Structure 1
Amino acid sequence: MSILIWITLSKYSLLHLTTKYTMYRKGLAALPNVEVLSPLVTRVLGQNPGPKTLQGTNTYLVGKYPNVVLIDTGEPDKKSYTDLLRDTVRSSNLTVKGIIITHWHPDHLGGCGTVRTLLDEMWTSGNKTMCSNHGGDCAILGDSKVPEQCNVPVFKMPHAFDSEIAPGQNMHHLHDKQLVEVSEGCTLRVLHTPGHTDDSICLHLLQENSLFSADTVLGGSSGEFSNYTHYIKSLNRLRELAPVRVYPGHGQVEDGGVVDRYLSHRQDREGQVLAALRGEESHVGVGKLTEIVYQNENLHPGLVVAAQGIVGLMLEKLRADGTAREVEDGFWVAT
């Protein structure tokens, strides 16, 4: 097994220190490799199951036939995924107008170069239905020129790590509240929802009042964050939309009530952290607090470091609230 260390985002945790397993967590619903979820949405599974990716990264072909965008691209050099994507687009005779990336993590952005290479190869081999702007018109593209070879544009909220995760990929920058006209009868609104990462976005599919939540909200599992305060603000923003359906970055499709459930879960967890802190007679470290808070949850070994990061970030919020303080590096007491 290979160990992939993604980036240290807090002094308490490596947000993504993970072993890539060939299995995923027990108890998760099995998902088909390709599934039509609505007249406007088809999910293509990223073929990368694991304890943090669940059944794999959910990528989505979104739009009204034949024009679609691809939301997220999975991991780097994942041939099983690109083969699946190629077959799905080819069999449905779709036109991929652009790629939208929800955030910089490698299981969402990492496959960008591979996917664009696939589209170029399909273009030059004669399957010219699969290209970004061959004579069509889409507001996201800005023009309708016929290219000599396929060069699907990539759109993303900017982040410093983009060039490291996907080198050589020229990206167009998105902004909050931007409208993306994918096709007639399919409009996405960009929502900047920091918390999971600084550059995280969700996409509001206006015609369905549905939400592509990326890793801000997962299906059948709780998510992670790099800034807890921003994360809670983003969840509250999503709740105000009152979506009827949520298409997550990992896991099964959820009803709109999942956002409320997420907020309740985080509030409960924050209360558990404070209660554990108050239950200790002296200062206590993040590792010990994590053991106390998660003691009844049979935490997967590959998720322990991430859980410690969650506890550490919640402690930072409790400090800001005046209910906890750090007495020495990594050791805390209730106030």
Structure 2
Amino acid sequence: MSLPPQAQWPTGDVEQLEPLVARVLAPNASPYTYTGTQTYLVGTGEGLAVIDPGPADPAHLEALTRAIGESPVVAILCTHTHRDHSPAAAPLAQMTGAPIIGCAALHIFSDEPRVDAPFDQDYAPDRALTEGEQVTGPGFTLTAVSTPGHTSNHLCYALEETGALFTGDHVMGWSTSVVVPPDGDMADYMASLDKLYAREDRIYYPAHGPAVEKPKQLVRGMAGHRRARERQIVKLLTEEARPIAALVPVMYKGVSEKLWPAAGQSVHAHLIDLERRGMATRSGDIWAIG
């Protein structure tokens, strides 16, 4: 997590990243979306797949319509159903006639406050993909890679022809992913990082931030960062039992206080994982080791 850079970003423009991949940036920059949600167009003029159509923002939908032009859309795919990723799927499907194919619907009702984008309760796919299932179009094949953790329904998509992987919010170069209980799960997130590390993808295209040109190096670093955070939690709680609100200022010293609520959610996810493994206990809002 970090505050978005102070710069003008090409929202609404089509950026051709490689022959089969183009990108359109939505105008929704924030501390949780960085410069905004990046919608990817995969394919050629003979047929396209749209990955993470983004928010149902009229300007973004107009930009996507311009970018698509006369090309038929064979599928609209979402990596997960946070509201900065999937709400534009339904209006785009109406405009193009394309089916919504990808992650499963997820309906979470919780009294716990969310610091990132809440879930899109209206998302309704025509077909939900599971691990290894594919979507094909003229000259491209996208394979679903199940990566729960950030959300339980998170999918990445592998472009088989080029070795690119569309990683949604699971792996991003600008920030670690926020893991928010009860749906977000730290153990699942770590397992999904291990899963990607075992792959041989050439490049990652995340939903936020720049492309990742050294995927294994980044994933190794992210896993190491999470393990370091866990060790930090264990050390602090070994010294003294305390609530999450007392852990965050120590652990995230130097990080903008605006981002502490999100950091606290990831700390909570770590603690739940430690509790399941028999390493932490809680009494009310006080956590302890043992």
Q: Please tell me the TM-score bracket, short chain as reference.
A: 0.7 to 0.9
**Number of residue pairs matched by the alignment:** 271
Alignment equivalent of 2:34, drawn from 30, 54, 60: 54
Deviations 1:52-83 (A, max 9, x none): 0111111100013321100011113x011012
RMSD: 2.1
Q: Does 1:157 align with 2:103?
A: yes
Counterparts of 2:257 and 2:17 in 1: how far apart (Å)? 30
Task: Return 5+ residue gaps in structure 2 as ranges.
Answer: 109-118
Summarize the Cα distance change of 1:67–1:38 in structure 2 as closer, same or farther, 3 Å threshold. Answer: same
Residue 271 of structure 1 aligns to a residue whose secondary structure is helix
For 2:73, which of 96, 102, 110 is the aligned residue? 96
User: Which position in structure 1 is the counterpart of 2:145?
Assistant: 191
TM-score w.r.t. the length of structure 1 is: 0.75
The offset of 1:286, in angstroms, is 0.8
Where do residues 1-335 of structure 1 align in structure 2 (5 Å cutoff)?
Answer: 25-27=3-5, 31-33=9-11, 34-76=14-56, 78-90=57-69, 93-117=70-94, 119=95, 131=96, 151-161=97-107, 165=120, 167=122, 169=124, 171-184=126-139, 186-225=140-179, 226-255=184-213, 256=215, 257-280=217-240, 283-296=241-254, 298-301=255-258, 303-326=259-282, 328-335=283-290
Shift in alpha-carbon separation, 1:183–1:81, aligned structure 2, 3 A: same
Where 1:68 maps in the other structure, the secondary structure is: strand
State the alpha-carbon separation in 2 of the partners of residues 106 and 205 from structure 1.
Answer: 24
- 8 Å CA contact 1:31, 1:252 repeated in 2: no
Q: 1:271–1:29: structure 2 CA closer, same or farther, 3 Å change rule? A: farther
Deviation at 1:241?
A: 0.8
- Identity percentage over the alignment? 28
Over 3 Å counting, the alpha-carbon distance change for 1:246 and 1:170 in structure 2 is closer
Distance 1:212 1:289, change over 3 A: same
Larger Rg: 1
Q: Normalising by structure 2, report the TM-score.
A: 0.86
Q: Could you tell me which runs of 5 or more consecutive residues in structure 1 were left unpaired when the two chains were aligned.
A: 1-23, 120-130, 132-150
